[in-house]
Structure 1
């Protein structure tokens, strides 16, 4: 039954709807109660699993508590195999049509940073590189950061120039 609970928590985190530790403990208590599993008295008093059990559960099921990266719903649904494949097909067409010398190729990245919003910690699989949480883009003030760098310059030194707008 613990394995089912762990699988459910991992699935929620993968779908950008990870549960906070307190909610996981409440869910574990409800799960035990519905399945007539005997629980300690302090679980019944607090209506959630104990902190010691939760820590052991995380270790047994290779889970950890992490702070997710805020991810808008549009971005979460747009990043899929089809759109990524389409991007690389378009890139191949442009690279075949033009012969750009290395010093004319730049890597540019843009990101939006919200000044107010911070997602709560969620339970997810241990060792996972990136954890996301669906959030509203309407809260707080958005600051846009754009960085660019030339790979040709980076190849010749440890640190290449970076332009920030």
Structure 2
């Protein structure tokens, strides 16, 4: 989890590769209307997010019912969003990729083909609700290399190469 440009997809794909967990990119679940808003630089409102979050929770729950563990790259910026995701599978752990806006903005400037403009970073940072003491959220510094972030996430979550742990 984290703001756009924090490395969610890169780290989640790395966790999937290291553990065999089934990967999904939450952005791929957005309806076209949400994508068009973001592409136009319009921040999504909660009303846009609720159906999307429920679909993500359902996707994870379906995989869990099949005995398949998942890793999802998803912003999950608010506690209420994380609470919806927690309603999916029996257990959900979060990894927050956190760091300075400067580092994240610089990374956003280097990527191509993503519909989320760097202009929305400030709104995402303003929306981010820091983890509460009762939430199990591993926080990692985005200044680490992708390889180190993946290793820290796998270790911090207690995952094994077969996705158990």
Q: TM-score range by the shorter chain?
A: under 0.3
Higher-helix-fraction structure: 2
TM-score by length of 1: 0.22
Largest Rg, 1 or 2: 1
The higher relative CO (CA closer than 8 Å, separation ≥ 6) is in 2
TM-score (norm 2): 0.22
